[in-house]
C-alpha cells in the first residue's frame, strides 16, 4: 500500500500535477504503520533526518522486536533501541539481530558505521560515575554519523584535568557536558569555548542532590550563554541534539 501511494505521488510529479517540493511535503505527511500496540512512523527520517528511535523501557521484547522488524523491513539502518536492559536485550536479539552495548544500554539494529558530518562531538563527564549517561550520548551520536571524542573524569574538583585538554575542547563543534553533584562542569566548559554546550545533569550525588535536581538547577542557572540543558540522565537527548547541531552546515562533501 505504501509503495503504491508513493508511486502515485511520483507519477503526479512526472505529469507536472505537483512540484517535487509538494511531493516531498506529502511524503512527509504519509500515514504510519499500525501494529496494534505501536504506530510505526516510517517517514520520521524524511522529517527529522533520523529514523524513529525505540524507547525500550516499559516495552516487552516482542513489542520491541516487532517495531524494529517493521523499521528494518522498510529499509532503515542504525535503528536505535534505548534504555534496554541486558536481560531484555538477550530476548530481543532472538527476534531481530542487534548490537548491544551494556554501558549505554543501547541496542542497534542494522548498524552502518558512517561519518556524515565533518565536526567532532566531544563528550565530557565530571566523574567516572557519570559514564553510563555519557555513553548513551556518545553511542547515540556515533550511530547518527558523528565523530565522537570522550573526555571522562574531568570534573571541577580537579580542574587541571579539564584544562589539560583545552586543544580538544577548542576543536569541538559541540560539547556534551555530563555531570551530577553540583553540575558545575557545564558552566566551566561553557566559559572556555565558543561552541554550543549541551548540559546533561545526572542523578549521581549524595542525598541533598535530590536525584539530580541540584545539578539540573545549577545548569539551568548557568551564566554561560552557550549552555543549554536537557533532562536528568537524558544522554540520548543530548547525543541526538549534538548530532543535529554538528550536521548544520557541516556535512561532508
**pLDDT (tens digit per residue) in 135-152:** 999 999 999 999 999 999
Tell me: the pLDDT tens digits for 26-82? Answer: 666 566 766 777 877 776 776 777 888 999 999 999 999 999 988 887 777 788 999
For residue 179, what pLDDT band results from cuts at 50, 70 and 90?
very high
C-alpha 91/C-alpha 98 separation (Å) is: 11
The pTM assigned to this predicted structure is 0.84
- Among 5-14, 88-97, 109-118, the minimum mean pLDDT is found in 5-14
Name the band, by pLDDT with cuts 50, 70 and 90, for residue 253.
very low
Question: Long-range contacts made by residues 8-12, C-beta under 8 angstroms, separation at least 24?
Answer: none
In terms of Cα–Cα distance, which of 187, 195, 179, 176 is closest to 221? 187
Encode 223-245: b = buried (16+ Cβ within 10 Å), e = exposed.
ebebbbbbebbbbbbbbbbbbeb
To the nearest 5 percent, what fractions of the chain are helix, strand and coil? Answer: 45, 15, 40
The owner of cell 548557568 is 222
Q: Among 139, 122, 126, which residue's Cα sits nearest to residue 198?
A: 122
Q: Where in the chain is the domain with CATH 3.40.50.1970?
A: 120-247
CATH class of the 120-247 domain in this structure: alpha beta
Residue 5 has a pLDDT of 63
Amino acid at each position: 500500500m505504501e509503495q503504491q501511494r508513493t508511486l502515485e505521488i511520483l507519477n503526479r510529479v512526472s505529469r507536472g500535477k505537483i512540484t517535487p517540493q509538494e511531493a516531498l511535503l506529502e511524503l512527509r505527511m504519509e500515514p504510519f504503520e499500525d501494529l496494534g500496540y505501536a504506530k510505526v512512523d516510517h517517514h520520521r527520517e524524511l522529517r527529522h533526518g533520523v529514523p524513529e528511535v525505540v524507547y525500550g523501557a516499559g516495552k516487552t521484547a516482542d513489542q520491541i522486536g516487532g517495531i524494529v522488524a517493521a523499521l528494518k523491513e522498510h529499509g532503515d539502518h542504525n535503528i536505535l533501541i534505548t534504555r534496554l536492559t541486558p536481560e531484555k536485550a538477550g530476548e530481543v536479539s532472538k527476534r531481530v539481530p542487534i548490537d548491544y552495548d551494556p554501558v549505554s544500554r543501547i541496542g542497534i539494529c542494522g548498524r552502518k558505521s558512517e561519518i556524515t558530518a565533518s565536526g567532532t562531538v566531544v563528550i565530557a563527564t565530571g566523574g567516572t560515575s557519570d559514564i553510563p549517561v555519557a555513553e548513551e550520548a556518545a553511542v547515540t551520536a556515533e550511530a547518527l554519523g558523528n565523530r565522537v571524542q570522550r573526555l571522562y573524569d574531568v570534573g571541577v574538583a580537579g580542574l587541571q584535568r579539564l584544562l589539560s585538554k583545552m586543544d580538544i575542547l577548542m576543536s569541538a563543534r559541540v560539547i556534551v557536558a555530563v555531570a551530577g553533584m553540583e553540575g558545575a562542569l557545564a558552566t566551566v566548559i561553557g566559559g572556555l569555548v565558543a561552541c554550543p554546550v549541551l548540559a546533561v545533569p545526572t542523578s549521581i550525588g549524595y542525598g541533598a542532590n535530590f536525584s539530580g535536581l541540584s545539578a539540573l538547577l545549577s545548569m539551568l542557572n548557568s551564566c554561560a550563554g552557550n549552555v543549554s540543558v536537557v533532562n536528568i540522565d537524558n544522554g540520548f537527548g543530548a547525543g541526538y541534539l549534538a548530532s543535529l547541531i554538528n550536521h548544520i552546515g557541516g556535512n561532508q562533501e
